[in-house]
Chain A
């Protein structure tokens, strides 16, 4: 059977050690590729004497199960209910909070601008500091890709700092659109566990107690010579409880998908040309020992993580963007990616306060590029993915 005969369905598992069967249609992950399941045997060396010069082979006492796969970063087809977006379930298990707004705020008139980076929201907005941090925002009536931006900071005086310099201070309307968003959750609450059905060439593996143990975001800029998809690379670990004969279900096609061009990419309020941007979430998990469990350990627990980004950007003159000075000063600067041309088919990735590393000469091609590290601290809503509608 073809190695392309693969599919993955995912459900949030409310109870530890109890498999929650994902729906074979509604819980399918759309846009998955490069999927592999690993059942690594756990072995113990048998050091007992045999009366011969040889030793017995290792004993096989269990297995460590994991699935690696790549998911295309594609918005849901419409604003999903809480916990319903399958890719979002994976992000939640990777310790993201899911934020859902159905009732847009506005359109209504902006107040006065503090400066060209900071408009003041109007009467419908609440004066609660940080409330709208990380939210998408539409300013004015220009083309969607231009009018759409995002909020870096928000204070009780309704000043909404942007992740970009608007370049002017227009008296116009604003809207906070409906959206589903994901922000790294910095509280100590446990993330959800997941249950999986993974189909491979006529077989179906059922896995429970699934935790995301590896997550990397990679977004190439789609150029005429090197088009590319934005993707998230996942590794999930859990316990395979069942393997049965079952052909893979049909997975809907990707359909219209926002392409990583004709968007915005901005670091420290300067537009930058980037080849590839990536974020490694550096997740650390561990399974606590527990002999009451069938395989001697509890479900994986998230025990740590450090998020770091890397951007391969054009090497700019210091007069435009002085990365060396930013690295030396260690100041927080906003980093903003946005692509897609219409509501429901756009994506934003925000790091409101990143610290830049020193640029590393990337002399691999004909264009002079720098590799720039982004250091992402543990601040509320400091790592955000938005799907505005």
Chain B
């Protein structure tokens, strides 16, 4: 029961929903940079919520599945192939033992998540299997995957076996339906506009700064990783020089250092930060941060806190519906 890595890709790591509960020990939460996509991929292979999967970035891995399994992938537009044949996203697919999965180079977006029935079974470190490369913690030896790595996988749930068997009887590699993550919750179709809330220090900025921030277009610089994304565009200045005493931050927080150029934090952020926090990207739009590439344009639209909470609720309700529908469907 394992996955054999033939090519690691650019940056493929084992992730789950992260390592919350240790921020007071200085441990970043980390985990999949788009938790919705990761949760959906796990749901589609019948895994529990906390199962570990693979996160790939820009250039995906090539791997061999050493046992019959169910796999599903969600996220950026990768040309994923299963033994030379296209493997479409957002649905369970049957992978016979010895099959090769080739993920290729992302055509748009940056990251995708590949789940396997039973989950990737690396040791749990501080409550999580997620890889924190900066500190060599979790995942496989705390690092990105490379050729020759063998990842143990866990025991699939009965549902996954049922779907595998029904696909086998039908002589099909994958089901003819899919669940689009973009349709869950109240979605938007206005490109890269992210919904934001005002941050704790927004009043520290010049009166016109907030209007600039939500009206302007920013561009993603080359400094974009799992910790954060540096943007360039109109400068956001403080009313007067002022230092923030280091305090907790979160994924989605937009902090502005002295340069005046905003940094949007992702989940592998530090636990504390010392830059004024102008804004925070709403939870429901944080997955889109994981898909930004150098040069991409992003804009921001303000919403209020009650709306942000309703959006989370609507998305969770849809996800529960998907879970219920899947449990009644085995082929």
A and B together in one complex: no
List residues of B whose CB falls within 8 A of some A CB.
none
Residue positions of A touching B, CB distance < 8 A: none
